[in-house]
Amino acid sequence: MEKLLELDKDDNILVSHTILEYNSPDYVYIPLHPNYQIVVSQNKHVSIGDIILTNHVKSYTSPISGTITGLKSVTTLNGKLSALEIKNDFKETKKLAPTHKITLNNLNKEAFAKLLKQEYDLDLTNKTSLVLNCLDDEPYVLTENFYLLLYYEGFLELLDKLSKTFNITSITLAVKSTSSENINKLLECLGMYPLINLQIIPNLYLLGHDEFLLKYLNLNPAESLVIKASTFYHIYNLVKRNRQKNTELITISGPMLKNPSIIQTKIGVLAEPLIKNLIELEEGEKDFYINGLMSGKIMDLSKFIITEDIHSIIITEKKETKEGKCLNCGLCLEVCPKNLNPLLLKNPQYLAKNREKCLNCGLCSYICPVYINFNKYLKGAENNVS
């Protein structure tokens, strides 16, 4: 893995092992997705798990019990969207009827494979090897690590069941070498699961990416399925407890807060009150990176909601880094794991041809000594590399 490197980070920033909870927000917001139909009306009461939006294959359910109050404008990673607002009644009433017939004790192969495809876009067809990816690539993020730490017993139970039901011959638990607590816990109980193999993965950026992880593990991508620990938790919750995805863990960390933490939050909450309620911020202007310093985006948090694709918010001092003139040092070319020439991303033809190939990993901007931000080309901004 000659091109992968260990990222610099401040070792004084430590994420607390106490999970903070934000499970009783005043409101949650369900963004309207294209081609999904709203199946609730204004002023209707909904329980946790009631379907709000559906395209008749996949559905979005209510994370709280309360009343539909109307449409509001919110911000997500995909920009501004309309969302259905639900006002919490704090009664936590739950939908009683099961949403599907698959349970851990009745794991029908065809039905389970269909569920994985529909809900999580995971394809088990012809797979003989399964990798549970518990790696957080981004600095200061420990979300996947904590999913494993909190739910490892359930994960082992489901992995064992999957290996027997689906004739999967190789099951790998990929854990970062820095996760000593997870490694110790797993070593204590893996004796009971002879089919599950623990792999300790070096702390190199991008080994959490499926492509590089499979290469490192020497597994054939056509025969292997990689599942993130966060996704696996939701699958486990569905088949074991018949619970729809309505909460998630996110890491809130970085140099501009006093208590870097893992938060368990309802999906659809506004990020600002969440931070105000649980996080102690340092004085000064800040940047809020959603989903990592390397591959994430700086976002304005007003009206920003926590959707199911958010795994971290990293808070740093506001940076006004001025880009310098390119030194032609070649470092950006050297570091690119996809062998692209980042300097050519400003060229519309080159960008169009390689946009899909680029991982948006941020390594080219990270390594550049004159702070050229290549990310802007991926978003179609003006040519600035001189």
Q: Which residues bind ligand SF4 (CB under 6 A)?
A: 326-332, 335-338, 340, 342-343, 358-364, 367-370, 372, 374
In sequence order, the 6+-apart residues with CB closer than 8 A to the CB of 56 are 37
Q: How far apart are CA 63 and CA 83, in angstroms?
A: 14
Tally Cβ neighbours within 10 Å of residue 241.
11
Among 196, 209, 63, residue whose Cα is nearest residue 136: 209
CA distances 371 to 8, 68, 215, 376, Å, are 16, 46, 30, 12
Which CB atom, from 39 or from 370, has the smaller least distance to ligand SF4? 370
Among 14, 57, 50, 12, residue whose Cα is nearest residue 33: 57
Which CB atom, from 330 or from 348, has the smaller least distance to ligand SF4? 330
Which CB atom, from 52 or from 361, has the smaller least distance to ligand SF4? 361
CA distances 193 to 171, 188, 246, 259, Å, are 10, 11, 30, 37
Smallest distance from ligand SF4 to CB 138, Å: 14
Which CB atom, from 122 or from 332, has the smaller least distance to ligand SF4? 332
Smallest distance from ligand SF4 to CB 47, Å: 43
Which CB atom, from 48 or from 368, has the smaller least distance to ligand SF4? 368
**Structural contact between residues 24 and 48, judged by C-beta atoms closer than 8 angstroms:** no
N-term to C-term CA, the chain: 32
In sequence order, the 6+-apart residues with CB closer than 8 A to the CB of 386 are 325, 326
Among 9, 14, 21, 10, residue whose Cα is nearest residue 259: 14
Smallest distance from ligand SF4 to CB 253, Å: 22
Among 314, 182, 179, residue whose Cα is nearest residue 251: 314
Which CB atom, from 149 or from 363, has the smaller least distance to ligand SF4? 363
Smallest distance from ligand SF4 to CB 319, Å: 17
Burial of 71 (0-12, 13-18, 19+ CB in 10 A): middle
Which CB atom, from 97 or from 352, has the smaller least distance to ligand SF4? 352
Which CB atom, from 150 or from 331, has the smaller least distance to ligand SF4? 331
Smallest distance from ligand SF4 to CB 331, Å: 4
Which CB atom, from 85 or from 136, has the smaller least distance to ligand SF4? 136
Smallest distance from ligand SF4 to CB 135, Å: 18
Token representation of residue 206: 């991008």
Smallest distance from ligand SF4 to CB 380, Å: 15
Smallest distance from ligand SF4 to CB 378, Å: 7
For 280, what's the count of Cα atoms within 13 Å in the CB-facing half-sphere? 2
Which CB atom, from 258 or from 322, has the smaller least distance to ligand SF4? 322
Smallest distance from ligand SF4 to CB 359, Å: 4
Smallest distance from ligand SF4 to CB 216, Å: 17
Burial of 310 (0-12, 13-18, 19+ CB in 10 A): buried
In this structure, the chain runs to a length of 386
Q: How far apart are CA 386 and CA 384, in angstroms?
A: 6
> Which residue intervals of the chain are DSSP H helices?
109-120, 143-165, 180-189, 210-217, 229-241, 271-278, 331-335, 348-354, 363-367, 375-378
